[in-house]
Chains A and B, each alone.
Chain A
Amino acid sequence: DGGITQSPKYLFRKEGQNVTLSCEQNLNHDAMYWYRQDPGQGLRLIYYSQIVNDFQKGDIAEGYSVSREKKESFPLTVTSAQKNPTAFYLCASTPSLVFSSYNEQFFGPGTRLTVL
């Protein structure tokens, strides 16, 4: 089955530790995105990558880092510099420009990170 996987579903970390959230897709999509969802705040864009080995900051990139070494993978690291890391994190992807002219984003199931 094609889709986006995020693991684990729930993650607990102590304050001051870096943590990396996994996002993998087998949809052959070029663009990938990371969002966080907080109560009453909707989805806010953290980082996005339109192509392998390239990524841009979103609206709330401070305290986060990403890499895009492979097309299928876009891991997000929540660093100790992120002041309020507890949130629900969502990864998404969109098809290549070559094959699509619409920008529906496909989302993974999300990871709930709790920092204690």
Chain B
Amino acid sequence: DQQVKQNSPSLSVQEGRISILNCDYTNSMFDYFLWYKKYPAEGPTFLISISSIKDKNEDGRFTVFLNKSAKHLSLHIVPSQPGDSAVYFCAASESNFGNEKLTFGTGTRLTIIP
């Protein structure tokens, strides 16, 4: 049972435009959400996170939106750059304590077209 879903396996976006990556979850106990970026043959690196008490968190070109009633979050990257080409995973946990387990989605491969 996939509790965190990323329904788009891949996405192509023109350089300079906005990239929107989507993530849905089913577990209503999830309270904290993260986005990770992963290049081939490397470990994921943390990008941005959001707590359920917020509906938006911004960090430079990256903004995460959370719609708790719809159990949906999205990552916006604007403007998109070639270095953004990677696989993006969303992850969720039931708290933001340091040793809480994360449940990951299946990932979306983003390709930025120059």
Query: Which A residues contact B (CB, under 8 angstroms)?
Result: 4, 6, 9, 30-31, 33, 35, 40-45, 48, 50, 58, 88, 90-92, 94-97, 99-110, 112
Does B89 lie within 8 Å of A43, measured CB to CB?
Answer: yes
Query: Which B residues contact A (CB, under 8 angstroms)?
Result: 4, 6, 9, 32, 34, 36, 41-46, 49, 89, 91, 93, 95-107
Does B34 lie within 8 Å of A58, measured CB to CB?
Answer: no
Which residue from B91, B98, B104 sits with its C-beta under 8 Å from A101?
B98
Does A103 lie within 8 Å of B106, measured CB to CB?
Answer: no
Interface of B is mostly: loop
Does B98 lie within 8 Å of A94, measured CB to CB?
Answer: yes
Does B43 lie within 8 Å of A103, measured CB to CB?
Answer: no
What distance in Å separates the Cβ of A51 from its nearest Cβ neighbour in chain B?
8
Q: A40-B9, A110-B42, A110-B43 are in contact. Are A103 and B104 (CB under 8 A)?
A: no
Which residue from B32, B98, B104, B107 sits with its C-beta under 8 Å from A97?
B98
